[in-house]
Amino acid sequence: QARLEEALKHVDQVQAQREIQAKRSNQPAKEARASTTDPEARVMQFADGGSRPGLNVQFTTDTASGIIAGVDVTSAGNDQGQLVPMLQQLKKRYGQTPREALVDGGFASHDDIERAAAEHHCQVFSPLKNEKQELAAGRDPYAPKRGDSQIIAQWRERMGTKEAKAIYRLRPPSAEWVNAQARNRNLWRMPVRGLAKCRIVAVLYALAHNLLQAVALRAAPAACRIKP
């Protein structure tokens, strides 16, 4: 009974969120559902094309060392709105935020980019939406668009430069590498339920990853010294 009551409560919350999103997009709201075994999970689409209840694990990785610097687990089905909370976490952990954030297109909502710059003095490097299609059509995707704020216009212009593209190429060998390592180490299915417990598992994984990476980083200079 307690699980059913919790699931019904989450259904109401999700339905309210979908109604708000439906008004913004002028699309009908889909019927919300919740799992009775884990009410905090949300039905998400996975890389294998299937849809099932899941949670969204977020890692922030230092590009220079491959160390995981921030961890979170949310019930959001996409990554929009996740950048600023992670910057806030980094500020709380280390007393400062990074000057640059390299994120994929799922994070790059205009609100995220503006808040990262205005609140945390952090420049966002992220691919533009429909960049290749606009280039193929002979249009300039890096030019300011109607309604762009100054921060968004600067972001578009920045992503058209060789320097920005070179910086963004640092993301796959750091962030995507960490994600691939997590999958290779079987962090596919959580052995627990609920956001709080899943967050603990994600943090423990990050600590184990960082210990292994620290060993590798310490060994690297020694290997260089004995190389003939």
Which has the higher per-residue pLDDT, 117 or 12?
Answer: 117
Taking the C-alpha atoms of residue 81 and residue 108, their distance in angstroms, rounded to an integer, is: 9
Q: Residue 10 is encoded by which pair of tokens?
A: 């989450």
Taking the C-alpha atoms of residue 185 and residue 29, their distance in angstroms, rounded to an integer, is: 37
Which has the higher per-residue pLDDT, 135 or 209?
Answer: 209
Tally of CA atoms within 13 A in the half-sphere of 228 that contains its CB? 0
- State pTM to two decimals: 0.80
Give me the percent of the chain exceeding a pLDDT of 90: 53
SS3 category, 33: coil
Token pair 């249009």 is found at 139
Strand pairing class (56-61; 51-54): unpaired
Tally of CA atoms within 13 A in the half-sphere of 16 that contains its CB? 6
Averaged confidence pLDDT in the chain:
86
Task: Identify the pLDDT of residue 228.
Answer: 43
Task: Identify the pLDDT of residue 223.
Answer: 52
Q: Residue 154 is encoded by which pair of tokens?
A: 């600067």
Task: Identify the pLDDT of residue 24.
Answer: 64
Q: Residue 105 is encoded by which pair of tokens?
A: 């297109």
pLDDT tens track for 197-206: 999 999 999 9
What does residue 21 show for φ and ψ, rounded to 5 degrees?
-65, -35
Which has the higher per-residue pLDDT, 47 or 185?
Answer: 185
Choose the most confident range, by mean pLDDT, from 2-16, 42-56, 197-211.
197-211
Task: Identify the pLDDT of residue 25.
Answer: 62
pLDDT greater than 60 at residue 225? no
pLDDT tens track for 116-127: 999 999 999 999
Taking the C-alpha atoms of residue 37 and residue 4, their distance in angstroms, rounded to an integer, is: 9
